[in-house]
């Protein structure tokens, strides 16, 4: 049944691809998409305006704006702050985004009155953004960054006043831990606030990078060893006859690629001898510290 469903899906896609551009079906699809782009989207009158706004922010390629995109997207769509970060794994604001996480509010022991005030501030922030966003000139990155910084810093300051000092201290700690999860330990140490707070020098940054490479290689080796041990435990559930047959079927250990070990010792192919082997997608991925 699964094969027939897949075949039917392929057949439909082929039929659509062969559909003449001017056909009634193609026109209907185009009209539907056009109508969708003209519907209201969050604080914008049309989805087209929303896409142009978010797309324009991404094109700025500004680190500060990029960090705030999850929050800005929530504000633009008029939904609770933190939803985008929860869906796609990100943060951007240690206060606004992290406080949207129920587990973090429980960790901070945030009470109902505080939650109500945070929700009120979220609505206030969304209303302010809906007014000011229309005056943003996306061709002027400096103005965009300054406006967004002003809006978010004002909102963050108000939210920090809602929670108690000890809650704020713990929230900042969680913000740094969140940054480590997103950027890795090395990325967090080489970025603010840790880089500034720890007064990390350029020389130390070079040393950290070298140390990270060595640790990644060691970690990859250990992971490979754990995989081998895990396979042995799995094989141990077989009876003796099955184990002996399995040994004959798979033979001795053989390393097919270096991505699992972090060592560039992959055997050269006879066909590509003398050529630098291309890295696969798996080889480009390294375990984070």
pLDDT exceeds 50 at position 4: no
Tell me: cis bond preceding 193? Omega within 30 of 0 counts. yes
Q: Binning pLDDT at 50, 70 and 90, where does residue 199 land? A: very high
With a pLDDT cut of 90, the percent of the chain lying above it is 26
pLDDT exceeds 50 at position 164: yes
What is the model's pLDDT at position 60? Answer: 82
Beta-bridge partners for 41: 44
Q: Count of CB atoms within 10 A of residue 124's CB?
A: 13
Alpha carbons 129 and 149: distance in angstroms, whole number: 12
Letter string b/e over residues 87-105, b meaning 16 or more CB atoms within 10 A of that residue's CB: eeebbbbbbbbbbbbeebb
Q: In angstroms, what CA-CA distances link 202 with 6, 17, 45, 180, 195?
A: 55, 55, 48, 20, 10
CB of 96 closer than 8 Å to CB of 82: yes
Q: Quote the tokens at residue 54.
A: 């978010």
Q: Could you report the per-residue pLDDT of 23-52, keeping only the tens digit for each?
A: 666 565 556 666 666 787 777 888 888 888
Q: Could you report the per-residue pLDDT of 223-252, keeping only the tens digit for each?
A: 989 999 999 999 999 999 999 999 999 898
Alpha carbons 228 and 253: distance in angstroms, whole number: 9
Q: Could you report the per-residue pLDDT of 72-117, keeping only the tens digit for each?
A: 787 778 776 667 766 665 555 557 778 878 899 999 999 999 989 9
Most confident of 65-74, 201-210, 253-262: 201-210
What is the model's pLDDT at position 239? Answer: 94
Letter string b/e over residues 170-209, b meaning 16 or more CB atoms within 10 A of that residue's CB: bbeebbeebbbebebbbebbbeeebeeeeebeeeeeeeee
Q: Who wins on pLDDT, 81 or 193?
A: 193
What is the model's pLDDT at position 90? Answer: 52
Alpha carbons 72 and 79: distance in angstroms, whole number: 10
H helices then E strands: how many in the chain?
A: 13, 0
Q: pTM of the predicted model, to two decimals?
A: 0.57
Q: Count of CB atoms within 10 A of residue 73's CB?
A: 23
Q: Binning pLDDT at 50, 70 and 90, where does residue 263 land? A: very low
């Amino acid at each position: 049944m699964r094969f027939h469903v897949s075949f039917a899906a392929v057949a439909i896609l082929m039929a659509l691809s062969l559909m003449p551009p001017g056909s009634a079906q193609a026109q209907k699809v185009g009209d539907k998409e056009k109508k969708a782009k003209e519907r209201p989207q969050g604080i914008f009158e049309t989805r087209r305006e929303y896409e142009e706004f978010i797309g324009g922010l991404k094109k700025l390629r500004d680190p500060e704006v990029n960090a705030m995109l999850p929050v800005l997207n929530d504000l633009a769509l008029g939904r609770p702050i933190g939803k985008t970060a929860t869906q796609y794994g990100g943060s951007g604001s240690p206060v606004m985004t992290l406080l949207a996480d129920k587990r973090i509010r429980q960790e901070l022991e945030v009470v109902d009155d505080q939650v109500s005030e945070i929700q009120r501030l979220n609505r206030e922030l969304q209303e302010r953004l809906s007014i000011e966003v229309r005056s943003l000139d996306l061709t002027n990155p400096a103005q965009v960054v300054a406006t967004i910084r002003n809006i978010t810093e004002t909102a963050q300051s108000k939210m920090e006043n809602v929670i108690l000092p000890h809650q704020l201290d713990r929230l900042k700690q969680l913000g740094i831990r969140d940054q480590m999860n997103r950027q890795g330990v090395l990325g967090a140490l080489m970025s603010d606030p840790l880089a500034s707070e720890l007064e990390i020098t350029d020389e130390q940054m070079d040393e950290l990078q070298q140390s990270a490479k060595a640790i990644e290689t060691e970690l990859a080796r250990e992971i490979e060893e754990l995989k081998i041990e895990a396979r042995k435990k799995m094989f141990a559930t077989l009876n003796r006859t099955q184990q002996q047959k399995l040994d004959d079927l798979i033979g001795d250990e053989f390393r097919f690629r270096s991505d699992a070990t972090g060592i560039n010792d992959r055997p050269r192919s006879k066909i590509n001898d003398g050529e630098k082997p291309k890295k696969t997608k798996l080889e480009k991925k390294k375990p984070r510290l």
